[in-house]
Amino acid sequence: MKVAITKDYDEMSAKAAEILIKQIKNKPNSVVGFATGKTVLGLYSHLASSKLDFSKIKTFNLDEYYPIERKDRNSFCYFMHKNLFNKININPENINLLNGEAKNPKKECENYEEKIKKNPIDLQLLGLGVNGHIGFNEPLAEKTSKTRFVELSQKTIKINKSKSTKALTMGIATIMNAKKIILLASGKNKAEAIKHLIEGKEDENWPVSFLRRHKNFVVLTDKEAGSLLHQ
């Protein structure tokens, strides 16, 4: 695990953009796992203004609320199109999103997992929940978990101001299979989860801590998110 505590949100976003841009330049048909949330917005605006050729990349998003319509402003589908996909030259056929409108959510997750198996993720981007969740792998999620249908914790429902109580998410094992992982964390409310990740041990109460074992894992935080670390 490589950790960089940057001076602020802008520096964190610029560093993350550098890594992503390098990945796509080196391998134009990279498979990229994208995430949603406020934390990744700075990075997405760098990518949108980069003029990089995204026409060959394939993407898999981490998670989605359930049930939710694609056009709902709270859906991750809406978020991704608004903040990134509509601003870059991505081929719409190469975009994979968990479908919050699926009739059979269990089947939707199984199919998604299969598709990822056939298109292994080169670089997975992650945000971080205040409670240490990654994707929607809430505390007590198993490290062997695959893409699946889950219940959200009360804490997440409150923090995300979510109308949905359920979601579809890649599992911990799905995420761990990515060749490279970059996690971004910004703000004081992420500091406790970052401390568990960097200075703690593997702990199912803090799902992010499972990533400690990943061989090619970069953590980028701003000063606030890194403020509880002993340096």
177: burial class by Cβ within 10 Å (0-12, 13-18, 19+)? middle
104 is catalytic: no
How far is residue 171's CA from residue 121's CA, in Å, rounded to a whole number?
A: 13
Task: Compare residues 48 and 56 and give the one whose CB is closer to ligand GLP.
Answer: 48
Q: What is the DSSP letter of 213?
A: G
64 is catalytic: no
Strand partners, 168: 64, 149
For ligand GLP, which residue of 13, 23, 30, 36 counts as binding (CB under 6 A)? 36
Dump strand ranges (E) for the chain.
Answer: 2-5, 31-34, 58-61, 63-66, 95-96, 123-126, 148-151, 166-169, 180-185, 217-221
Task: Compare residues 44 and 54 and give the one whose CB is closer to ligand GLP.
Answer: 44
Which is catalytic among the residues 46, 133, 196, 214?
Answer: 133
Q: Nearest approach, Cβ of 68 to ligand GLP (angstroms)? A: 13
Task: Compare residues 42 and 57 and give the one whose CB is closer to ligand GLP.
Answer: 42
For ligand GLP, which residue of 12, 31, 35, 123 counts as binding (CB under 6 A)? 35
Give the catalytic positions in this structure. 63, 131, 133, 138
Interacting residues toward ligand GLP by CB under 6 A: 35-39, 62-63, 127-129, 135-136, 156, 160
